[in-house]
Amino acid sequence: MSQPNSCKRLQVFNTDLPPCCVQYYPNDTSIVFISSYKLEENGEKHGSIDIYQHDNGEGDLHLLTRKLTTAVLDLKIKDSLVSSCHSDGSVILWKFNSKEMGLSKIKQFGVFEDTVTSVNFNHKGDIIIATCTNGQTCSIDLEKGDINYFDTTHDLECWISAFGELGELCNVIFTGGDDSKLIAHDIRTNTKIWATGTRHHEAGVVSILPASKTWNSMNPNQLWTGSYDDNLRILDLRVMDKENPALIEGYIPVVHQKENLGGGVWRLIPSPAPNDNRILACCMYDGARIVDVKEDQFVVTKYFKADHESMCYGGDWGSSGITTCSFYDKVVQRWDPNS
């Protein structure tokens, strides 16, 4: 693979604790949330949720730090609600007040006995999916307060989940685990539809991106995955009808395209801009890449690393560029994907 064009850096700074997740506030994308995860030598884990705001493109104003006695591996934002997952097995729902720059806890859910690895809102914002290092997945109904556990678990750590959106896929949850499996679950029954084997992924599945109404909608039969084996893949679900996508129990998808990106593909984040089918790929020990959809294929077009000398875990698209973070060196960088 030839090296794509490198992007221009706009800013760099360091965090107090190792950062692992970056999320822009969707109602004001000059505001960015960064979560951190610190493991001490004595085995204790702690972290924080830090909030910054871009200052006319010249720097970042540090607005708020919420120090926590648990580490925070992932967080997601839906409107003014913030969901964070914690090393004590809990998921916390917060309310963010952008005018007062306040972050207040609404409710804490104790869902697992081990570390929660990821959280994800559904499209309505009334259900959260959480995954765990013990291989489990659960759904949290925010209106009823009910917690439901999926019947099928991963054999090792479950790292990621994603909601289907198009047609009947709105009833499907995809999860990826350290066991190299990608599992499709029916959220109505919390049961397995199918699970892939090692012929699809040669290492753990750590990122999942289904087609949606705003990203790659012209390819509703595609599911994109990233793996510890450094490959970005497009899976063709095959049995999906373009007008009414569906999945058939036990009917395993096939790999339509794969390419080695040079690092573990930890996160896949689609551009929020209208008619922009690019994605940001956070590639762990080799920075980040911009990937373009070309008909039913993908092409890597941009590359950024600069001072990301350790694991590039988190990233997101903002109003004035992309922000990415790397873990052990505690580096946060903002850069221009169009440069």
Q: How confident is the model at residue 169, as a pLDDT?
A: 86
Q: Count CB-CB contacts under 10 A for residue 79.
A: 12
169 domain residue, yes or no: yes
Residue 184 lies in a domain: yes
Residues 6+ apart with CB under 8 A from 11: 59, 60, 333, 334
Q: Is residue 107 part of a domain?
A: yes
**90 falls within a domain:** yes
pLDDT at res. 56: 62
Q: CA–CA distance from 181 to each of 147, 240, 258 (Å)?
A: 24, 21, 16
Asked if residue 10 is part of any domain, the answer here is no
> In this structure, what token pair is assigned to residue 338?
């169009």
Decide: 263 and 284 in contact? Cβ < 8 Å: yes
* 204, part of any domain: yes
The total of structural domains in the chain comes to: 1
Half-sphere exposure of 107 (CA within 13 A, CB side): 12
Q: Is the dihedral of CA 33, 143, 161, 301 positive or negative?
A: negative
* Phi, psi of 168, deg, nearest 5: -70, -10
Cα–Cα dist 34/231, whole Å:
26
> How confident is the model at residue 1, as a pLDDT?
47
Domain limits for position 163: 34-270
What is the full per-residue pLDDT of the chain (339 aa) written as tens digits?
456 789 999 999 999 999 999 999 999 999 999 999 999 999 999 999 999 988 765 566 788 899 999 999 999 999 999 999 999 999 999 999 988 888 999 999 999 999 999 999 999 999 999 999 999 999 999 999 999 999 999 999 999 999 998 887 889 999 999 999 999 999 988 899 999 988 899 999 999 999 999 999 999 889 999 999 999 999 998 654 555 556 777 778 889 999 999 999 999 999 999 989 999 999 999 999 999 999 889 999 999 999 999 999 999 999 889 999 999 999 999 999 998
CA dihedral 312, 316, 321, 326 (to 10 degrees): -20
pTM of the model: 0.94
Residue 148: CATH number of its domain: 2.130.10.10
Burial class of residue 142, CB neighbours in 10 A (0-12, 13-18, 19+):
buried
- Rg of the chain's alpha carbons, rounded to an integer? 19
Residue 63 lies in a domain: yes
The whole-angstrom separation of Cα 298 and Cα 259 is: 9
In a domain? residue 313: no
pLDDT at site 22? 98
User: Quick check: 324 and 282 in contact, CB under 8 A?
Assistant: yes
- Alpha carbons 229 and 182: distance in angstroms, whole number: 14
Closest alpha carbon to 191 in 172, 167, 217, 163: 172
Alpha helices by DSSP H, the chain: none
